Amino acid sequence: ETGVTQTPRHLVMGMTNKKSLKCEQHLGHNAMYWYKQSAKKPLELMFVYSLEERVENNSVPSRFSPECPNSSHLFLHLHTLQPEDSALYLCASSQEGGRGLGTEAFFGQGTRLTVV
């Protein structure tokens, strides 16, 4: 398997549920990202992990909780979500070269989340 793989591809959950999104990259990259794309809105950067350490959290609500156990895996744990959290959640990876430099990002196919 190559590239960036996300599971599940589709998820419907109630506001009281707890679920997790999974991302795995097979590119040997050292940085992974979660982006959110709502309908007719640009990609919003949610979390960045570089070398397994979280380096960015753009004031994302605490009902979203990321986890990066190693450089190849990234999770997004979801709990008590709201209907407005329905969106496409995209995972990406890239190679960070230090001092703010790096390569292009490669994306997974995304998880389309619907909160009911």
Q: According to CB under 8 A, which one of 41, 59, 62, 70 is a site residue for another protein? A: 41
The answer to whether the CB of 7 falls within 8 A of the CB of 76 is no
User: Taking CB under 8 A as the rule, does residue 84 contact another protein?
Assistant: no
Would you say 34 or 64 has its CB closer to another protein?
A: 34
Q: According to CB under 8 A, which one of 46, 78, 90, 115 is a site residue for another protein? A: 90
Q: What are the C-alpha distances in Å from 36 to residues 2, 46, 56, 93, 98?
A: 23, 7, 14, 14, 25
36, 74, 13, 44 alpha-carbon torsion, rounded to 10°: -10
Residue 36 neighbours by CB distance under 10 Å: 21
Q: According to CB under 8 A, which one of 56, 57, 61, 77 is a site residue for another protein? A: 56
User: Taking CB under 8 A as the rule, does residue 107 contact another protein?
Assistant: yes
User: Taking CB under 8 A as the rule, does residue 34 contact another protein?
Assistant: no
Would you say 58 or 82 has its CB closer to another protein?
A: 58
CA gap 15, 90 in Å, rounded: 21
Q: Which two tokens stand for residue 95?
A: 């190679």
Interface residues toward another protein, by CB under 8 A: 31, 33, 35, 41-43, 45, 48, 50, 55-56, 88, 90, 92, 94, 96-97, 100-110, 112
